[in-house]
């Protein structure tokens, strides 16, 4: 832990130093104490710079580092509390009172500063007494650390040729080909996160027979993080010329001899695990551009690979597919010699698959798991390990078996350790979010900025998002995060952490007390917050979680409410947390809908979000929040907002309420630092504010504006937008009203934003300008209510970078569209919706060669789909809904993977053609999509289909599924098909079917609950509107793989259900909803041993919870909604039935 703290502390100390320097002028009256504090903090800076440079990892300094961290935080509290009090007192109306208060505040500050300085002096004295500074610069100590790291590295890579490897065969052949080719690049690289098998792959190449025959001289050197150039060169020469005594050679001699060897014979040098670009620059002088010399380099950092081998793209390793993971796992858990005596049973296979999911395709983790299960042949042994691994795979200590996991942790930890301090902070911030949560990059960027984690030197004209993207790019290139980009802007949209890397993040965050996370849905998870950052997660909470009662740490700097749970905040909250910097309060209920005026006391606040909160009025005191960088006021409902924004000159992100009170009037002209402005309405402000007092909002990148005032001419709009030269995204919306500027000359509109990538317009514009007038790099265009009279396609198809087009309601009022050969060379997504007048579409062969998604909805007069669709081989997703366009089989490109049909005009039975679309994976058939009353899925049809959804097909009566049809189907959803009589018998042959949902069927529908009728591998079943008179449990409990059951409205009209002993061995979640006749439920001991969630919703006649619940130790949550009030009294502590639920952490009673 010490090394992490040392790495993080310089950044914290630097932030405190910057605070002291920035606010120096405001410390009149305590100058002496202030200068003393600055001097002592500067001494800490010097010490910590040495510590970071040397990667100190001594046990001796652990306590010292902890003390320093507490001092830094306390000093920050002292300074910021003084500034808070000073600013609040200076705003007081009474000058006498103000003077007295400020004097008292200064006296307190002086005393506090002396205390801090005394503590710093004691720490410095302790460091000297402990010999810390001597340890830091002790070369022998550092060499010992480096040797240990190299030994650890060698442990990971030794004997690779004897280990099983999967999924790298193609890469081996590719790399060998690159290396033996005479004219190819001199440097070939392999990149990927730790544990992916870079060294394994390099070793396979190094030992390949073609390599050994082609290169007479071979050398392998591991660089790692700490290295000396001399040592690397000695290692290379020692392997190239074993007879040479390299121990006494100087660098010049080593360089000369290596160059001479490489001039005289072909050689391959493997540089394994190089971390930095500068490291390559140090060692590369020996690799002169000679034909016979090749270098194979491995690195976690893609930038290093690109820097070293500019002429050859690196081989980037990805995680293994599930099939590859299973293959590798079996080879290790069951060596070849064991196969004759042992065959994996189905139950063990399921456990293995479940455990394997935790590895996420990481070969190192799979090998560790396989090693743990090696030679363990009983189901109970596997279950024991499964329980240990439910926490991510390497969270262990204690037994030797769990300590094996440390190997995985150590490998991934190296990636974290190498990060610069500011990136460590950015990475640890990700520990705030729940598992598998898609972290919005826009929010994350401003969290980082608000906490000062983004380096000021990176800005230099760049926006916060651009600087954050640089940080994310660095984490992506180091393979530490999983990213998703926005197709419109190519910017990072969301981030996620791989399970394994998340565990590293959580561990480090816990060690550093960086952030505390609390799941509010689990009763026993609530605990006092000692960290300066707190993240609360909650989903659909009832009653709302009271933030006031649970969050009481006055030193809190960051509070994140994550999830769409309901939260309650009162006026008591804000005065307790005056040092807050980041406050994210979505879905919050305020008393009376009024945001408390006490929020104005949070003058250090830099990030505030009230997104989707319930607020009708904002206080005028919010004008005090002058340091805000980010403000999101996208609340629910109509809100009155005083004219408070003109004071917030530091704002870079502003999202306004969508609906304002009639009397709201805002001024934004001073907000010249804005980068994003959303939902600005001309009815409550002036569009001319965008011009600003001087140069205008030149930094603005994204603008969403509502034009609600017909005063504005096209010229007014143009002149107001003309200064926004950096604009990348522009949305002009009339909020559904028919807005028609007084001048409809399209040439007056500003079309020449050179950086614009996304354009969305809802204004009257009967003609488009020529293609030359459009921004040259436009990627997305969306038009609505424009009432274009001429076909827009001849103009749009010439925009060479266009990837997405959306033509919405009345955007085009003509009858015919033509897409010519070679048009739309980059188009990927195309949507037509609500084009009432459109009748004909001509699509020539060669148009839209990259189109993969086509959606045609509510185009009632379109006669038919164009014949040219069949030439677009890239088309994967087709949706036709509520259209009279004739569907013919010849229009379906053979590579379709998704098709959705609702209310369309069918000329023939499409099923025989659809079932032969070899790539089709998802099929949705809605109302009016079936030709006839009978549906037949024949043998060998739909070979790739995975998801099948029928909804609202009134005419459908019979469904036949032949054995061999849909072999890969895993999800089937049938809803609102009133004349379908029963499910086909052939479903039982589909062994991959895991999820079945049947809802809102007719009275004659018969879901036969008998053994052998339902697919045996179902894991989820949801039944509603298909009433059973007999208890369904005796049949369902024999589906041994079931994990989730939902019995909804009208699914059971009997009175009694019994869950018997040993039934439902895998069931985890059980929901009963709207069973109006159900009275009695019996659960025998031993039933549902893994159940963790039970929900009983509106079952009014159910008398009580069953006794058997007390035996289900795994139960974590029980929710009762709309039940009789006596239930709550009986199940509450001291009640008659409390013994049934006393072991369950969360028991909720929610009234209707």
pLDDT digits (tens, 9 = 90+) for 380-405: 777 777 766 654 444 443 333 334 35
The confidence band for 530, taking pLDDT boundaries of 50, 70 and 90, is: confident
CA atoms within 13 A on the CB side of 719: 7
535 within 8 A of 433, measured Cβ to Cβ: yes
Mean pLDDT check: name the lowest of 60-69, 304-313, 475-484, 519-528.
519-528
Query: Which band of pLDDT confidence, cut at 50, 70 and 90, is reported for residue 312?
Result: confident
Map residue 684 onto helix, strand or coil: helix
Taking only the tens place, the pLDDT of each residue in 873-889 is 899 999 999 877 666 65
Q: How far apart are CA 286 and CA 269, in angstroms?
A: 11
- Average pLDDT value for residue range 77-98: 60
Could you tell me the pLDDT band of residue 870, with boundaries at 50, 70 and 90?
confident
CA 606 vs. chain centroid, Å, equals: 23
At residue 453, the pLDDT reads 87
Looking at 187-280, which runs of residues are DSSP E strands? 187-191, 217-222, 267-272
pLDDT, one tens digit per residue, over 43-63 is: 666 665 544 443 344 555 556
pLDDT, position 409: 67
* Domain 515-629 is found in CATH 3.80.10.10: yes
pLDDT at residue 94 tops 50: no
The confidence score (pLDDT) of residue 554 equals 84
Reduced to 3 states (helix: H, G, I; strand: E, B; else coil), residue 946 is: coil
What span, in angstroms and rounded, lies between the C-alpha atoms of 302 and 295?
Answer: 16
pLDDT digits (tens, 9 = 90+) for 207-244: 888 998 899 889 998 876 556 788 889 889 989 888 88
Residue 148 clears pLDDT 60, i.e. is over it: no
What is the predicted pLDDT for the residue at 595?
95
Q: Over the stretch 582-617, which tens digit does the pLDDT of each residue have?
A: 999 999 999 889 999 999 999 889 999 999 999 999
What's residue 225's pLDDT? 56
**pLDDT for residue 9:** 52
Say which residue, 218 or 117, is predicted with more confidence: 218
Decide: helix, strand or coil at residue 922.
strand
Least confident of 184-188, 801-805, 831-835: 184-188
What the block records as the tokens of 626 is 């002058």
Owner of token pair 């339902």: 1014
pTM check: above 0.85: no
Q: Which of 162-166, 338-342, 555-559 has the lowest mean pLDDT?
A: 338-342
Closest to 209 (Cα-Cα) out of 181, 184, 233, 176 = 176
What topology is assigned to 1019-1150 in CATH?
Answer: 3.80.10
Average pLDDT, integer, range 812-828: 95
pLDDT at 432 over 50: yes
Give the mean pLDDT of 644-671.
93
Residues of the chain with CATH 1.10.10.10: 419-514
pLDDT at 619 over 60: yes
Which residues 6+ apart lie within 8 Å of 286 measured at CB?
Answer: 233, 236, 254, 255, 258, 259, 262
pLDDT at 317: 85
Residues of the chain with CATH 3.80.10.10: 515-629
DSSP 1006: B
Checking if the pLDDT of 508 tops 90, the result is no
Q: Are strands 630-632 and 607-609 parallel, antiparallel or unpaired?
A: parallel
Q: Which of 100-104, 559-563, 954-958 has the lowest mean pLDDT?
A: 100-104
Residue 220 neighbours by CB under 8 Å, 6+ apart: 206, 239, 269, 270, 272
Residue 485 sits at φ, ψ, to 5 deg, of: -100, 150
For 1054-1093, b/e burial (b = at least 16 CB within 10 A) is: beebbbbeebbbbbbbbbbbbbeebeebebbeebbbebeb
What is residue 341's predicted lDDT score, i.e. its pLDDT?
47
* Pick among 1.20.910.10, 1.10.10.10, 2.60.120.1440, 3.30.420.10: CATH of 419-514: 1.10.10.10
At residue 147, does pLDDT exceed 70? no
Give the CA angle between residues 203, 205, 207 to the nearest 5°.
70
Size of the chain, expressed as the number of residues it contains: 1152
Please give the Cα distance from 345 to 361 (Å, whole number).
23
What does the DSSP 8-state code read for residue 218?
E
Q: Could you identify the residue written with the tokens 């039940």? A: 1123
**How far is CA 826 from each of CA 257, 798, 847, 983, rounded to the nearest angstrom?**
53, 10, 10, 44
Beta partners for 905?
A: 886
Residue whose entry in the numeric block shows the structure tokens 């025989």: 912
Sign of the C-alpha dihedral computed for residues 415, 419, 425 and 429 taken in this order: negative
- Nearest CA to 1008 out of 990, 1024, 984 is that of 984
CA atoms within 13 A on the CB side of 460: 3
C-alpha span between 56 and 556 (Å, rounded): 30
pLDDT at res. 788? 94
pLDDT in tens, 1033-1091: 998 998 888 999 999 998 888 899 999 998 999 899 999 999 999 999 999 999 999 99
> 921-948 pLDDT, tens per residue?
999 999 888 777 889 999 989 999 999 9
CA-to-CA separations, 548 to 81, 517, 554, 569, 615, in angstroms, rounded = 21, 17, 12, 6, 17
Segment 966-975 mean pLDDT: 94
994/632: higher pLDDT: 632
Signed CA dihedral, 261, 266, 270, 275: sign only? positive
Q: Which residue has the higher pLDDT, 345 or 2?
A: 345
State residue 760's pLDDT score.
94
Give SS3 for 607. strand
For domain 144-316, the CATH class is alpha beta
Quick one: pLDDT band at residue 152, thresholds 50, 70, 90? very low
Decide which of 429 and 1000 is more confident: 429
Please tell me whether residue 160 adopts helix, strand or coil conformation: helix
632 has pLDDT over 90: yes
Q: Judging by beta carbons within 10 Å of its beta carbon (0-12, 13-18, 19+), is residue 954 exposed, middle or buried? A: middle
Can you give the pLDDT at residue 863? 85
Fold exhibited by the domain 2-137: 1.20.5
Determine how β-strand 567-569 pairs with β-strand 995-999: unpaired
Rounded to a whole number, what is the distance in angstroms from the first to the last CA of the chain?
A: 50
Residue the block writes with tokens 């140069």: 695
Reference 425, options 499, 509, 506; nearest CA is 509
pLDDT, tens only, 705-722: 998 776 666 667 777 787
Which range, of 114-118, 672-676, 1045-1049, averages the lowest pLDDT?
114-118
Distance (Å, whole) CA 221 – CA 202: 12
445-504: pLDDT as tens digits? 999 999 988 866 666 778 899 899 989 988 887 767 878 888 767 789 999 887 667 888
* Cβ neighbours of 323 (radius 10 Å): 10
Residue 272 near residue 199, CB atoms below 8 Å? yes
Confidence of residue 87 (pLDDT cuts 50, 70, 90): low
């Amino acid at each position: 832990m010490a090394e992490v703290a040392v790495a993080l502390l310089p950044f914290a100390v630097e932030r405190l130093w910057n605070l002291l320097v920035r606010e120096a002028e405001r410390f009149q009256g305590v100058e002496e104490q202030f200068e003393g504090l600055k001097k002592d903090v500067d001494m800490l800076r010097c010490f910590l710079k040495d510590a970071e440079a040397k990667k100190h990892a001594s046990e001796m300094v652990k306590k010292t580092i902890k003390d320093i961290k507490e001092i830094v935080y306390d000093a920050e509290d002292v300074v910021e509390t003084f500034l808070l009090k000073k600013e609040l007192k200076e705003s007081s109306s009474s000058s006498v009172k103000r003077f007295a208060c400020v004097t008292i505040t200064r006296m307190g500050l002086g005393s506090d500063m002396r205390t801090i300085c005394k503590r710093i002096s004691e720490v410095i004295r302790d460091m000297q007494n402990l010999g810390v500074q001597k340890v830091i610069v002790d070369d022998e100590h550092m060499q010992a650390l480096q040797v240990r790291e190299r030994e650890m590295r060698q442990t990971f890579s030794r004997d690779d040729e004897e280990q099983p490897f999967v999924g790298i065969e193609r890469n081996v052949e590719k790399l060998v080909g690159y290396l033996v080719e005479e004219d190819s690049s001199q440097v070939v690289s392999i990149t990927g996160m730790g544990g992916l098998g870079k060294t394994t792959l390099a070793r396979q190449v190094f030992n390949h027979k073609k390599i050994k025959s082609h290169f007479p001289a071979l050398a392998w050197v591991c660089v790692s993080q700490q290295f000396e150039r001399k040592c690397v060169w000695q290692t290379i020469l020692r392997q190239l010329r074993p007879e040479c005594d390299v121990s006494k050679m100087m660098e010049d001699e080593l360089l000369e001899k290596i160059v001479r060897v490489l001039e005289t014979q072909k050689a391959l040098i493997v540089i394994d695990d190089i971390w930095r670009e500068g490291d390559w620059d140090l060692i590369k002088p020996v690799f002169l551009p000679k034909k016979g010399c090749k270098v194979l380099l491995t690195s976690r950092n893609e930038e290093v690979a690109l820097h070293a081998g500019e002429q050859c793209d690196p081989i980037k390793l990805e995680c293994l597919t599930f099939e590859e993971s299973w293959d590798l796992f079996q080879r290790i858990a069951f060596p070849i010699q064991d196969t004759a005596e042992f065959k994996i049973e189905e139950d063990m296979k399921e456990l293995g698959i479940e455990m394997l999911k935790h590895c996420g395709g990481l070969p190192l983790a799979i090998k560790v798991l396989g090693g743990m299960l090696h030679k363990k042949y009983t189901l109970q042994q596997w279950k024991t390990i499964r329980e240990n691994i439910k926490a991510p795979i390497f969270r262990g200590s204690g037994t030797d078996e769990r300590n094996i996991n440390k190997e995985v942790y150590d490998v991934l930890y190296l990636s974290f350790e190498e990060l610069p301090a500011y990136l460590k902070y950015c990475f640890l911030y990700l520990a705030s979010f729940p598992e598998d949560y898609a972290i919005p990059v826009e929010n994350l960027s401003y969290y980082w900025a608000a906490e000062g984690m983004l380096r000021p030197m990176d800005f230099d004209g760049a926006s916060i998002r651009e600087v954050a993207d640089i940080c994310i790019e660095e984490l992506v290139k180091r393979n530490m995060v999983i990213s998703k980009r926005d197709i419109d802007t190519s910017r990072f949209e969301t981030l996620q952490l791989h399970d394994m890397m998340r565990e590293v993040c959580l561990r480090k965050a816990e060690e550093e007390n960086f952030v505390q996370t609390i799941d509010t849905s689990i009763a026993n998870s609530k605990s006092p917050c000692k960290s300066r950052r707190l993240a609360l997660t909650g989903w659909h909470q009832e009653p709302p979680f009271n933030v006031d009662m649970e969050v009481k740490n006055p030193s809190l700097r960051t509070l994140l409410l994550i999830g769409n749970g309901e939260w309650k905040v009162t006026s008591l909250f804000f005065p307790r947390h005056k040092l807050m910097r980041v406050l994210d309060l979505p879905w919050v209920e305020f008393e009376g809908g009024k945001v408390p005026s006490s929020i104005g006391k949070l003058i250090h606040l830099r990030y505030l979000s009230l997104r989707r909160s319930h607020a009708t009025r904002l206080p005028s005191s919010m004008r005090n929040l002058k340091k805000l960088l980010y403000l999101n006021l996208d609340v629910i409902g109509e809100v009155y907002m005083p004219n408070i924004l003109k004071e917030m000159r530091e704002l870079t992100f502003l999202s306004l309420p969508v609906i304002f009170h009639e009397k709201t009037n805002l001024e934004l002209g001073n907000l010249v630092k804005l980068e994003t402005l959303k939902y600005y309405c001309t009815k409550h402000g002036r569009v001319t504010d965008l011009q600003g007092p001087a140069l205008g909002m030149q930094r603005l990148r994204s603008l969403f504006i509502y034009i609600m005032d017909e005063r504005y001419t096209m010229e007014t709009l143009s002149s107001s937008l003309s200064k926004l030269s950096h604009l990348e995204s522009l949305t002009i919306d009339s909020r559904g009203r028919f807005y028609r500027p007084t001048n409809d000359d399209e040439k007056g509109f500003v079309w020449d934003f050179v950086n614009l990538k996304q354009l969305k317009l809802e204004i009257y514009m009967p003609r488009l300008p020529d293609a030359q007038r459009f921004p040259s790099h436009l990627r997305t265009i969306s038009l609505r209510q424009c009432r274009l009279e001429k076909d827009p396609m001849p103009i749009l198809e010439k925009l060479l970078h266009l990837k997405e087009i959306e033509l919405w309601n009345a955007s085009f009022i003509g009858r015919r569209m033509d897409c010519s050969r070679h048009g739309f060379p980059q188009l990927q997504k195309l949507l037509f919706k609500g084009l009432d007048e459109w009748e004909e579409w001509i699509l020539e062969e060669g148009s839209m060669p990259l189109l993969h998604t086509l959606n045609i909805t509510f185009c009632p007069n379109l006669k038919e789909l164009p014949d040219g669709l069949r030439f677009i081989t890239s088309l994967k997703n087709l949706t036709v809904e509520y259209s009279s366009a004739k569907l013919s089989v010849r229009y379906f490109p053979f590579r379709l993977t998704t098709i959705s049909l609702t209310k369309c005009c069918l000329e023939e039975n499409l099923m025989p053609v659809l079932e032969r679309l070899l790539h089709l994976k998802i099929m949705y058939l809605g109302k009016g999509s079936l030709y006839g009353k009978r549906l037949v899925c024949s043998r060998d049809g739909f070979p790739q289909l995975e998801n099948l959804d029928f909804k609202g097909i009134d005419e459908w009566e019979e469904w036949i599924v032949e054995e061999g049809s849909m072999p890969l189907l895993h999800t089937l959803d049938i809803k609102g098909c009133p004349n379908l009589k029963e499910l086909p018998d052939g479903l039982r042959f589909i062994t991959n079917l895991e999820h079945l949902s049947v809802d809102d069927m007719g009275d004659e529908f018969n879901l036969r609950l008998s053994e052998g009728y339902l697919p045996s591998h179902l894991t989820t079943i949801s039944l509603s509107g298909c009433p059973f008179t007999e208890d369904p449990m005796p049949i369902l409990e024999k589906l041994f793989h079931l994990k989730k059951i939902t019995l909804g409205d009208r699914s059971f009209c009997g009175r009694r259900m019994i869950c018997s002993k040993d039934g439902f061995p895998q069931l985890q979640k059980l929901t009963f909803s709207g069973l109006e006749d159900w009275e009695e439920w019996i659960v025998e001991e031993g039933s549902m041993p893994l159940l963790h969630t039970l929900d009983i919703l509106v079952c009014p006649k159910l008398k009580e919870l069953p006794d058997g619940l007390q035996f289900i130790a795994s139960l974590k949550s029980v929710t009762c909604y709309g039940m009789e009030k006596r239930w709550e009294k009986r199940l509450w502590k001291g009640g008659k039935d409390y013994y049934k639920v006393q072991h369950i952490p969360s028991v909720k009673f929610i009234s209707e």
